[in-house]
Structure 1
Amino acid sequence: MRHVLCRVTVMIPASCTTFYLELPAPREDLAPALPPRMVVDEVTPPDWRLNRRLYHLVGDGWQWEDLDEATDEEWQKRIADPTLRTWTATVGDTLVGYFELHRPDHVTTEIRYLGLCPGWTDQKLGGPLLGEALRKAWGWPGTRRVWVHTCTLDHPSALANYQARGMVLYHQVEC
């Protein structure tokens, strides 16, 4: 039996920049509606296994690493938190993306994670998905501010997408 070894080269940037953006008031005029073929549903009841799967499915290609070492128990606790809510996006029967909203102080909602599944990132669905995340954030009674952070390791259009929806840069960190 012959084995072929492959050499994979991964380019890790020497540095990255993290951008913090906020939307202090709703801006429906900048949030495109979902295309008719796309459906966004809240995950109820919460399902930690699904959230973990979504996190890796969407985030592995963008070097999301903050939850890589989380245990099953940590995932269960995280998803059981009533200040965290999750939505999935589908086209037909196909999962195409998701987002999580987190509001620990009952007034400031963070778009914790938002992204499209591999193969769906260049289908012009990112703007509508973000628009829906913003609508859900502002529709959560008591929300007075929505914020998000992204970085130069995310999809090349991520920062521009947030800004196109009216989100304003308020802080930036070199990492």
Structure 2
Amino acid sequence: MSTITLTTWSLEMTSPEELVAAAVPGPEITVSRAEVPSPEFSRFLYASVGGDIHWTDRLALTRAQWVEQLGRPGVETWVAYDRGTPAGYCELDPQGDGVVEIMYFGLLPDFRGRRIGGHLLSVGVAAAWSLGDRWPGREGTRRVWVHTCSQDGPTAMGNYERRGFKVFKTETEPKEEAPTPGPWPGA
């Protein structure tokens, strides 16, 4: 196996006024919250979005671990649809002190390059800022952050920056290059 240099950027927004919303790409695109946690659906989204960009950290989780992750208060999954077909998702992970991480964000390969990502990210970030309104007992959001890396899609960083995120940390490390797993085993 060869070694690659992996760069990871952490970006943040510290005020809802920093969000620069993208235009809705068309009436056929909708975004809604998956209000009933479903490990099967979330695993489908994770594997389908991340299969060609080296997302592997959750592939070995058991169903019980998925249930635990998705069942934590304040964890939300927002899904973009193109005429009823899932196109991508944004998973919000509330942390302490009013911080919300965009844990996972992306589009299935066939939906990239159609301006769906900017709209989905806009909806996801707005949802992160209003998370406390939907979860009684949660404090208001004071910071939203996300990380992306050099293995993510080529437009990921630009999308985050166009929405108003600012880089606050950059890390570079060598990493063993692994084969791309694809959206399902054997793909």
Corresponding residue pairs, total: 165
Distance 1:82 1:21 in 2: 24
Alignment partner of 1:25 is 2:25: no
Deviation (angstroms), 1:162: 0.5
Name structure 1 gaps, 5 residues minimum. Answer: 1-10
Identity across matched positions, percent: 36
**What residue number does 1:172 align with?**
170
Distance 1:118 1:60 in 2: 9
Deviation (angstroms), 1:33: 3.6
Name structure 2 gaps, 5 residues minimum. Answer: 133-139, 174-187
**What is the DSSP-based 3-state SS (H/G/I as helix, E as strand, rest coil) of the residue aligned with 2:10?**
strand
- CA deviations 1:19-41 (Å, max 9, x no partner) are 00000011366111433321111
Q: Spell out the pairing of 1:1-175 with structure 2 (5 A cutoff).
A: 14-27=4-17, 30-35=20-25, 36-105=27-96, 107-141=98-132, 142-175=140-173
Q: Which moved more, 1:147-156 or 1:99-108?
A: 99-108
Runs of 4+ in 1 over 4 A off after TM superposition: none
Residues 23 and 150 (structure 1 numbering): CA distance in 2 closer, same or farther, change over 3 Å?
same
Q: How large is the Cα RMSD of the aligned pairs? A: 1.7
- Scaled by the length of structure 1, the TM-score of the pair is 0.88
Q: Tell me, yes or no, if the aligned pair for 1:25 and 1:145 is still in contact at 8 Å.
A: yes
Residues 108 and 174 (structure 1 numbering): CA distance in 2 closer, same or farther, change over 3 Å?
same
Q: Tell me, yes or no, if the aligned pair for 2:76 and 2:92 is still in contact at 8 Å.
A: yes
> Which amino acid counterpart does residue 162 of structure 1 have in structure 2?
Y
